[in-house]
Amino acid sequence: MNTESKNTIASNFPLSGGTKGAIKGILFDMDGVLVDSEEFICEAAIEMFAERGLQVKPEDFLPFVGAGETRYLGGVAEKYGFAYNPERDKMRTYNIYEIKVKGKLKPLPGTLSFVSECKKAGVKMAVASSADRVKVDINLREMGVPNDTFDAIISGSDVEHKKPNPEIFLKAASKLGLKPDECLVVEDAVNGVEAAKAAGCRCLALTTSFSAELLQKADWITSNLSEVPEEITRQLL
């Protein structure tokens, strides 16, 4: 795979991943990694708050990207001192979201080919998304990717502590029957990179949501899954 973009983006950052053993499994975040749904969930959240009489802005959500919808919505509600009912407000947001994404969600560049190549090579794969399972299922369906493409799907509904806590990646690795240091996490958010490193996994960060400078704790940094560093593909494929 072409590494030109990766080399450009990550040239100032150390590539520490290659010093460990072989990568045997991949733990994919969902939003910003497999699909770009941030615009739609933000629009849905703004609409949900507006229905309840609160006007919020897209930038209000940035600190909570990658932390799951409970925190995504709750953090903004806290900022404005707004009464927030997690279950009711999340479900209303998901209802709006499902309508907004119908026929509009597209896999990010390189996603389908990379996942397909890894599956053919027998690499174990899991989705590890802080989003609730209902959103993960909507996204996979709209992408045209069957759930059984992955050996495990761990969502925010399955864990108590959301990213940057490492619980979701520890659980995903366990579901694959692997140790954390045998897994590569693919993330796009600062919270996700921190969770991956806290879990003891190696991490490939994609600059779909945040700049390379903000993602520098990752082992590798690239633009998307069409530009996976050769150091990784040599181990996987």
Q: Is 154 helix (H, G, I), strand (E, B) or coil?
A: strand
Q: Are 186 and 26 in contact (CB under 8 A)?
A: yes
Distances (CA, A) of 14 to 44, 126, 163, 222: 38, 26, 24, 13
127: Cα within 13 Å, side-chain hemisphere: 29
Residue of 187, 226, 228, 194 lying closest to 209 (CA atoms): 187
- The 152-154 sheet, strands edge to edge: 152-154, 124-128, 25-28, 183-187, 202-206, 220-222
- Dihedral sign computed on CA atoms, order 65, 108, 208, 60: negative
Q: Are 49 and 56 in contact (CB under 8 A)?
A: yes
Note if 148 is an active site residue.
no
SS (H, E, C) 92-139: HHHHHHHHHHCCCCCECCCHHHHHHHHHHCCCEEEEECCCCHHHHHHH
| Cα gap 28→189, rounded to integer Å | 12
Note if 60 is an active site residue.
no
Give the catalytic positions in this structure: 29, 31
